Structure 1
Amino acid sequence: MANTYSQLYVQIVFAVKGRQNLISKKWKDEIYKYITGIITNQKQKLIAINGMPDHIHILVGIKPNIPLSDLVRDIKSSSSKFINEQKWINGKFEWQTGFGAFSYGHSQLTNVIKYIENQEEHHRTKTFKEEYMAFLKLFNIDFRNEYLFEDI
């Protein structure tokens, strides 16, 4: 897209199906590298990636040449397939349906990056559900509780 200029930053958040603690410290770096490749192959820019055993945060600089939902679909489906092929867990690995997407301005990036990098610290006192609900409220996003979380 010649002569198209944009500055779009989005934090994507999604959970393991049933919010199970399936992302092991042993292989989380491998899955993050794999997801980085997916984003790069889609010509998007990964800025930060981190998470916990039950969820993941991805900050991307996104170009307007791909719908965000398509990018997330590709990340989730390809990474699920990769995890299952590696046989890192007993049974089938799946991401939960849906995702959160939160937009930021350039001046906010340093704080968002620090937040993503410090997931372990944040989750000493706050569950994923509490964190996610706080994002939805902070960004004034209307939601229905019955569609938020698929528990085990």
Structure 2
Amino acid sequence: MSFIKIYIHLVFFTKNRVPHLDTFDLRVKVWKHIKENASQKGIYLDMVNGYSDHCHCLISLGSGQNMEEIVQLLKGESSFWINKNQLTREKFSWQDEYFAVSVSESKIEAVREYIKNQEKHHQRKSFREEYQEFLERNNFV
């Protein structure tokens, strides 16, 4: 038996960063659906949360899984589901781009807390500020 533990912090956002997920109840519904869909697809999604224009996921890659495939399954199915159920006023879609960084075992709890506290976090900081910090902290710029 193979033992694999590769944690990834994944962030993706709505097309053109339109704040389609503009209510707490809608966000809860979407995150719950993403979690359930991931489970059905054999994707280990440890945590999911976000705000009106983006989503954070903590994922553990399994044997034979790759990031591109997981992102496509999560984003594609969730946007289809949102549109099918007419949960947003306009057609919903996720931006093509995403960010994914590995997470050290020693940082898992900190990332969980960060993802869990998105509502509170975005009372103080805009997504643009968070985005820039994420790029800098992970040496993307």
TM above 0.5: yes
Query: Any idea what SS the aligned residue of 1:99 has?
Result: strand
Query: Once the two structures are superposed, what CA deviation does each residue of 1:80-106 show, in whole Å capped at 9, x if it has no partner?
Result: 010001111222101111101011111
TM-score (norm 1): 0.85
TM-score (norm 2): 0.92
| Structure with more helix by fraction | 2
Q: Does 1:50 align with 2:46?
A: no
Query: Once the two structures are superposed, what CA deviation does each residue of 1:97-120 show, in whole Å capped at 9, x if it has no partner?
Result: 110101111111111100011112
What is the RMSD of the two structures over their aligned residues, measured on CA atoms?
1.4
Query: Any idea what SS the aligned residue of 1:27 has?
Result: helix
1:11 maps to which residue? 9
Q: Which is higher, the Rg of structure 1 or of structure 2? A: 1
**Residue identity (%):** 31
**TM superposition shift of 1:39:** 1.6
Q: After TM superposition, list the pairs within 5 Å mapping 1:1-150 onto structure 2.
A: 3-23=1-21, 24-142=23-141
Query: Once the two structures are superposed, what CA deviation does each residue of 1:104-144 show, in whole Å capped at 9, x if it has no partner?
Result: 111111111000111122212221121122112111124xx
Contact kept in structure 2, 1:42 and 1:71, CA below 8 Å = no
Find the aligned partners of 2:30 and 2:125 in 1 and give their Cα distance. Answer: 24
Find the aligned partners of 1:64 and 1:139 in 2 and give their Cα distance. Answer: 25
Find the aligned partners of 1:43 and 1:14 in 2 and give their Cα distance. Answer: 20
Query: Any idea what SS the aligned residue of 2:111 has?
Result: helix
- Consecutive unaligned residues of structure 1, counting only runs of 5 or more, are 143-152
Query: Any idea what SS the aligned residue of 1:88 has?
Result: coil
Query: Any idea what SS the aligned residue of 2:95 has?
Result: coil
Contact kept in structure 2, 1:48 and 1:113, CA below 8 Å = yes
**TM superposition shift of 1:64:** 3.1
Query: Once the two structures are superposed, what CA deviation does each residue of 1:1-27 show, in whole Å capped at 9, x if it has no partner?
Result: xx3221100111011111111113222
Find the aligned partners of 1:126 and 1:114 in 2 and give their Cα distance. Answer: 16
| Structure with more strand by fraction | 2
